Structure 1
């Protein structure tokens, strides 16, 4: 009997502690809201590509494009300003993937392939190229926000990203390589022959760019969001000159958010 009473007291105590913690959490969130603070968690997918702008003459056509599956997870804090709280500042942390697989037909495209014997051969490639990009970033956005209405919110600002894990690789097929320069010795790859390349180690760790988007408050705590992120620095290091033009990540993030 005593054992049952002890268990009952422990259960009542646990319920009381949980209830008290939830009450304190609610008071904290209400107090934050009264002082202009808002918090949200977001999850979604990322669709886009890493590409040169404008499209250089070396790339004659884009033959296929696959965005692959890429996820976005983000936590933000928003500080609304002034008495009307129309304008605000958003910052937080985002973990995101920026992926794609493309096939293109190119001419005199800077390339360094890996031969079957492991040796590297550098020059200008004419023919088909498949490129795979799989990059995982941790990103810190700093955005200005404006409440268009009670349901709509617009955002604009900048972001800084750190590359946690990345890949930029692929293979060439059905074409030829001119060693060293566009008039160098010709090496043919035909009848299904391919050669791999991998520029992963040539990617820079830090990236930055601009971000714009909008949120729609569907329910009291549920938001729907869409954000465009546009990289402004080349994904490759400054001393990397195999590809002769800069490559920029341009992606659309869409998903849902929970507002506290």
Structure 2
């Protein structure tokens, strides 16, 4: 009798899996008949967090590294009408908005951290390295339109909540005017650097607009590109060290699977 236990067990598991798959297929078919479509997406995010336009304090952008960021997203799409040309897309996305840049600046408002941990505020002239690594959970609500059997376009607002944030970097090869542009001059040369960290000053909530397009390569496989443009400063309202607002602007592109 014992020799039949394991074959019967595996047969039971297989039948249960088949039944669960059949139930899932029936649910998806019913949803499709009522105008619902579901999809999951993953890709790569490239962009930057920047003032618009670049202020006079930033004299040149010397280097840019988007670093690796992989957004993961799930969407529910409700199609309306007989022809189902128009729909409403509601999603949930886990994403990173990253970048590392180097720039040459003049009279750039700054607060550096000394070796003793004390902070010194003033106006910096010289090199600045900035590292941004922000993780968000984002809710896009988009109007979507079928241009053809393969092409969809979409646009609408999004809101984001910050899960983890970093805005930090170094200053190098320059000098700091303590307090104001005519204050005491503190020079950094011969490879000397000073750090700064504004991570605690990043705002928790962000909002903006998103536009994009999907191309259905196969029955279930999509290729997508989405541009997100933040409309509020990533820093808190009471943060005054950086004298201009900074906005996250990122392009997400990759593949999606439609159920």
Same fold (TM over 0.5): yes
Measure, in 2, the Cα distance between the counterparts of 1:192 and 1:231: 36
Partner of 1:38: 37
2:109 paired with 1:110: yes
What is the DSSP-based 3-state SS (H/G/I as helix, E as strand, rest coil) of the residue aligned with 1:89?
strand
Residue 16 of structure 1, CA deviation = 2.0
Q: How does 1:186-197 map to 2 (within 5 A)?
A: 186-197=185-196
Residue 37 of structure 1, CA deviation = 0.3
Measure, in 1, the Cα distance between the counterparts of 2:56 and 2:240: 17
2:103 paired with 1:101: no
Measure, in 2, the Cα distance between the counterparts of 1:11 and 1:198: 57
Partner of 1:48: 47
Residue 254 of structure 1, CA deviation = 0.5
What is the DSSP-based 3-state SS (H/G/I as helix, E as strand, rest coil) of the residue aligned with 2:241?
coil
Partner of 2:233: 234
Partner of 1:162: 161
Partner of 2:211: 212
2:214 paired with 1:221: no
What is the DSSP-based 3-state SS (H/G/I as helix, E as strand, rest coil) of the residue aligned with 1:177?
strand
Question: What are the superposed Cα offsets for residues 146-205 of structure 1, whole Å, 9 maximum, x if unpaired?
Answer: 000000000100111011011000010111111111111111111111110000001001
If the length of structure 2 is used for normalisation, what is the TM-score?
Answer: 0.98
If the length of structure 1 is used for normalisation, what is the TM-score?
Answer: 0.98
Residue 19 of structure 1, CA deviation = 1.3
Residue 239 of structure 1, CA deviation = 0.3
What is the DSSP-based 3-state SS (H/G/I as helix, E as strand, rest coil) of the residue aligned with 2:38?
strand
Partner of 1:19: 18
Which has the larger displacement, 151-160 or 12-21? Answer: 12-21
Residue 6 of structure 1, CA deviation = 3.8
2:256 paired with 1:257: yes
Residue-pair matches, total: 259
Task: Name the Cα RMSD after superposition.
Answer: 0.9
Q: Structure 2: 5+ residue runs without aligned partners?
A: none
Measure, in 1, the Cα distance between the counterparts of 2:235 and 2:251: 21
